[in-house]
Structure 1
């Protein structure tokens, strides 16, 4: 009996720890599942908030771009109607009593500009059609009111003969004679609404976004995306299920109020079971309102997939932990049953096993944490990459708009195209940097040294940064101090990247109306006479940095944890890449910063002086006056002018400049030329010039503006004030010489620009080349660029056609093939192998890959397929010609 009792006691003792372990295991499982469930709900909620915030920012920017494009398009069309009025003046019909002739000329001029209809509108809104079907103005009151006040206006009208089809009316005030002999109010021309739809790309099939244009009462001006009702408000009443928790009528009331007040409007709603974002904004020169819509379906599916992936990974980790704990449980149970005699040893073994389990769980949690941090870093990098890309894109978009607005001004368009080219090249460099990120992180980045003009480099940097500075109304200064060696050997793309990154950060972290200054000066290099040390500084009056953050400034993905910084986009890679490039160039970079006062970056780079023939820069022995509030710039400019034969005085304000000019005028020792900075304190440059012209009377002294800002912004006002011209900062010696030479009668002297357009080195007259390219635009570019060197080009639209054209031609017809890789029917690899297997005498003709596949493994595949060389798109024409010359000479 005692043995049985003792055995029962031991079994109870054995079952006690086992039951406790089972209870703990089950409890831990439930707690873990509950934690992961709560985490999943939290991530879903955060994802929805993030999608909403991103959608609102994206839609606002998109609407602003469409609005700007609409304004440019309408202004262009209104200018064309105004041109018709200017060309066929109303006075003509009164003087010559030839009304019919006037109407014929108006019709001819209008049709030449592509207008669908043309008519004269009376003061009561009636249209007398010159040609085209009669029209009814949908809302004539605001249209008549604006035209009566002398303002061009846009409205919408209907064509009764075409089922009340909407037409866009463009009215310009005029006083032609109506049929009844009274004066008309305006000349009205029309275009189809499809013209506006196509111009603004409102019906783009590949876009996630669609848009409507409506009037104040909700009626459609332009409808897309299958809308068939006459009013957007009717669409809301019949289709919309939920509008941000409001009824359709409440939503209509809100958006109607926004239209009447001319305000933007944004909200979310559910339609056909899908959440969508709507953003509304008023359109200029009209009574219209633009509504853009973005469905969240695709974005939601991506975010949901990412969330599911993260949750699955977490569940796998959880299962591993549970399995480990289960193994521990089984081992503990077996040990406790088998080693009852040695309880202490069993307990120690169990404790060791539990310790191992805890360590395993901690390691699993660390691994999960690292994975989450890596995912977050990559996501932030991809979402914030616009920091570096938007900088040149702003310049490209801005210069395109300026060129469009000044399409008849050849010089302005050429200047804009030059700046667009410069910004495009820099944008390509940024994209290449992103693609080569692995090389930069592994220390395999190489520098490409070439002859670089510091003047051209600084001018391109200034042109790219100008739109950003202008948008924030910041004061931007450029100082060039004692630069005698303008041409050096360096990597222009990398140096451009460094300077643009520093300037972009300065603009971004400096508040509106703040100050930004970039300066460049020269001093002897410790490397010897063949080198020069270039010192560059970028200083701003921005928010500055804390001492703690400056310790990690050059770490990858480093951004200060500060509410002021969180509102600013950035990848956190810019400064790390900048420091790497400066170190690779053998340079030195220092930074001084204080929170609330600003930041200054200082670079010191030793560069080899490039041998380059220079123009003998000598000007007449003029006496000039330089006016700028930067003393160092004045002294440097005077020194540069002295080196080219000009004697110059300087002063720091417009008031003192007026006194000095008057004093010289009284002594009959007038200055030959006066250089005025635009942004002078007190009396600015334009005001100073206006006062000088008033006081000097008939004096014809040339007055030139010097500034780092865009000349087009002030040109009209400046010329009205008597200013003769403009010289853009930075003021290098060559900049001053080429800017002033026109006043010395030496316009035939050309700038020191290396003549290297490829035409002198390459001549391929009579050489026939086959281009295999499926993209017509790429073919057009290649044909236009390469034909200038005498090449005769033929086009094969895919790989199969390329092989067939060679097989059907006489041997030797084609001297080489430029082969794209990604083509339909037969790709470039397959086409190359087929050509090599033709067994012809010319089957070994040079085949050069010309493709956007630019990684090293892509180049290797081309060589393995039998190609001779590889050129990455966008193509470098000189590189293509160099390769053709090389391989054609081997035949």
Structure 2
């Protein structure tokens, strides 16, 4: 009851106050508006009268001077005397009447001066038309010194010096004469009013003393001081249209801090217009004063009403409050007790649910991790025991070491997933953006997964469609991680003999021309997922509870990490899956194009044939070949390839090179190559294209007459560099034999290894000396810097740098090396550390290192990086 009453009183009071404010504000605004409108109306009437008075004065002055000219004509009629006498008498008479010049106006628009300076008309066309029509006319002109003058013309046919007959008699008066006669600078009743005489284009004929521009339109623009230029242009346009229609024009325009009234009318016997302006400064002060008075009255009235209403409200409030305070206190106490009880119950239920969920998640995770970690650990411990027991059996030891290596890699993957997830949940996982070659990324991915695919006897294919921007800006480590997670799952959940395909295609990015959209697809013919699991596949610690996958190891974190990385890159990820059919992941990423100087990729205009069972791949490859100068045909099977080669040979249009897929339906690549060589007299260079390792089929391929090998994926640069070796050193159209495979040779290269752990040093020395490297050991960063500083120039080819070391860390050592006054201060420095997160890699690069390798080290990756940076 109390709250309803209080609410009613408050709402009523607020409404009455609002009504008073609205009513009185409206009255004040309305009176101010009416005052301004009345002043504007009075100003229009006043200025119309003022313009009419000036126009009449102007007309009287013009008529007077025109009559003076006509008097000259009457006093000295044409042919009343010889030309010389007539010209002398008319000139003297004109000067006596106050004219500064007198001239005869010819049919061609020329002036023949009888007295005074040479004159000319500023706008001759209207003046000429009026004289030709036997009309009187006033115009603007200039004298010999380019001073402005006023010209008055009266039709008159006098014989001119060259015998022609004149069109009119024209006199000139200074513009100051009209300015003084018309008194344009000020009005007696209002000294702030001033006037100008202008033409249609805005140029001044007669201007008041305050006009400092050569054109009235420019004057209007300058008055706005760079603000509201659109409004100034509108006034100029309206004024011009009014002058075109010969109508009066009146407007009040608002300048910064003031208002002005402009009134324009045309002047008789001319192409001129009288513009009068009156500032409203003093009048606006009066209006403002009136507005302030009305505002004061509104505030006073509102304050009086509010005081009365407030007094009534306070009085009534005190009466009701005293009556209801005890009841209100009791009700509040009861409500507070009830609320506390409800909140306590909810908090207890929420805490219980959270604890149950945490315990369940912890139990499930520990159960999974216990199984997944113990499995490879059991293999490592067991195989180590077997190897020790059979130390004399070399073959058995090698088998055990292979199993130990595979289990170690799997255990490392589990640890990396858990650490990555920890970084994600703490919000510390970041992206390290750098220039990346998509070709190198894909080549690296293919080389990594090839052994796993081969071990499970799976069909693996890589397809590249329409990739024109191979170099982009992104985090290459995280992009590799995304691709490896997808492919690892595909290999893991696809049975032997199944098919795995990764596809890369490029489209335009909605972000603009500086970006490129990359579409990634990983598709397999594995066991697939249920609809229920597909909905939560990207959740942490999630694995499908199905007997089909109980023997498949993993943390259930890979897809959650992948989803986080894709989201961090601003991309999207979609999954399609059906149990027993397979799974398809589609990722969309927008990458900024990297600014890399492109190599001029041009090859001889060969005729080539592309053979692959994927039509899109054939079309994309043919398009890429065309872009580097090669004309390419394509077919989808080995049988068609043989038929096409024979037809071309019969037409004497032999192919210079054939790109042949290894895995073809029906007749495979090697069988096709044999059939082609069997039907051809000469040898046609045939290059095998495949995502598989060349080494396992090289002998059989060479025997079939296959010249060489190009590894999928077929980027434009892959095709160019794969075919370029055939063009070098030969005449156009004659491919060169493929050079043997390049082997890494580090013999004689000295490398300085900074490592404080003796076991890690022993492992690194054993692995890297097998490559031919000669290693020197530095126990910490300080010793590493000193050894390099004291070395002979060129002695060390690179530095392998651990990060966590005593005395001086690897970061500090890298900075110190870059600051050395030594010829080798810029030699390659490669971080070789267990700090493997993105921020760690970025910190290494920021400190001057060239690259980063995570422990446990992959000797192949170390060799690749050494070769890359030592050659540069």
Q: TM-score range by the shorter chain?
A: 0.3 to 0.5
Larger Rg: 2
TM (norm. structure 1) is: 0.42
Per the normalisation by structure 2, the TM-score is 0.43
